[in-house]
Amino acid sequence: MNSTKKKLYKLAAICTMALALAACGNDEQPAEDNASNDSASEETVEKDRVLTDALGNEVTIPAKPERVLASYLEDNLVALGITPVAQWSVRDGDPQEYLQKELESVPMIPHDLPFEAVASHNPDLIIMDSPGMVEGGKYDQYNKIAPTYVIGTEENNDWRQELLTIGEIFGREDDAQKVLDDYEGKAEEAKQQLTDAIGTQSAAAVWLVNNSFFIVSDNLSSGAVMYGDLGLTVPSVVEEISASATGNWSAISLEKLVELDADHLFLINSDTNIEDSAIKEELWQNIPAVKNGNVYEFGPDTAWLYTGAVANEQIVDHIMGSLVQ
């Protein structure tokens, strides 16, 4: 019996030790899991990024910009569902009307972006459209307010590249590409419908403001939509003026407009409240498209004076509604 008891005691001791070791092993496993989870959590934490802008400045982009100021680039922000801390104001504090569904509650900032006004909105990121906006030492002053990124090298940058760059800044490249792809698909479909409806007929866009006329260039703003995206034929007068154009819209006399060989004319009329408007003059009535009743009038509150994915989609809708029955 004594021998049997000793064997039982030894067996019990061995079992006890085995259980203790197993318990120790179980205690260590959760620790490993916790370390693994902590590592995964660290990997998913967003961090500041350093990007080089169009002027070669290394700009530290906040991990999650929440107070963005991007004047003249609001169209791109709206296209990506981003709300700026302030929006550029047209003329005497008027908003960009075509974006007000999304930006109605966003305060205005003067078009020349005074430093005090910029600072008052406490931005955590400033995005500038072109070098002209930061020349003369302005970049350093804006950069003291918040990290400042200059998006392009030209006064009229390609809106597609601007959109993609905005996507990169916010780490939303895929979203920006989808917006662009959706627009390209819409424009291509519209182009085919226009070809079926009016063939190779031509069109032009004219802006009337303060009794002065301006005609859109063939490769900028709504001109890029009409001719580049939708394939409408460029009138010779538009080609002539565009050859020396320095901006989106160029001044054109009423006498020159009479020579405008366009089958269709889009009129952006800012003078609807002027009694002696230039469109009441006899020369206006002699413009071929006017004679033929092919004038389509829109107000300055529409997208025709702007550019970007949102503006251009609205312009496409206007053109289709006017020319495709």
CATH assignment at residue 102 = 3.40.50.1980
Nearest-angstrom CA–CA distance, 229 and 184: 8
Residue 19 belongs to a domain = no
Structural domain for 281, as ranges: 198-323
Domain boundary among 171, 188, 222: 171
Phi first, then psi: give them for residue 87, nearest 5 degrees.
-125, 145
Q: Which of 162, 160, 96 is nearest to 128 (CA)?
A: 162
In a domain? residue 217: yes
Q: Are residues 159 and 207 both part of a single domain?
A: no
Q: Read off the tokens for 285.
A: 């009535």
Q: Are residues 277 and 319 in the same domain?
A: yes
Measure the CA–CA gap between 154 and 75, rounded to whole angstroms.
Answer: 18
User: What is the pLDDT at residue 156?
Assistant: 78
Would 31 be classed as within a structural domain? no
- Does residue 151 contact residue 129 with C-beta atoms inside 8 Å? yes
- Kindly state whether residue 32 falls inside one of the protein's structural domains: no
Asked whether the beta carbons of 69 and 118 are under 8 A apart, the reply is: yes
Residue 295 lies in a domain: yes
Q: What is the mean pLDDT of the chain?
A: 88
* Residue 176 within any structural domain of the chain: no
The reply to whether 143 falls in a domain is: yes
pLDDT for position 153: 87
| Residue-level pLDDT at 251 | 97
Per-residue confidence (pLDDT) for residue 34, from 0 to 100: 52
> Is there a contact between 88 and 104 (Cβ–Cβ < 8 Å)?
no
Q: With contact defined as beta carbons under 8 Å apart, do 123 and 115 qualify?
A: no
Mean pLDDT split into 10-residue runs, the chain, 325 residues: 40 41 44 48 70 96 96 96 93 85 95 95 97 95 98 88 97 98 98 97 97 96 97 98 94 96 97 89 95 96 96 98 92
- 157 & 249 share domain: no
Query: Among the three residues 171, 188, 214, which one is the final residue of a domain in this structure?
Result: 171
* Secondary structure (3-state) at 207: strand
| Domains held by the chain: number | 2
- Is 275 within a domain? yes
Query: How far is CA 169 from its chain centroid?
Result: 12
Model-level pTM? Answer: 0.84
Judge if 99 and 206 occupy the same domain. no
Cα 107 from Cα 47, distance rounded (Å): 29
Would you state the pLDDT for residue 275? 84
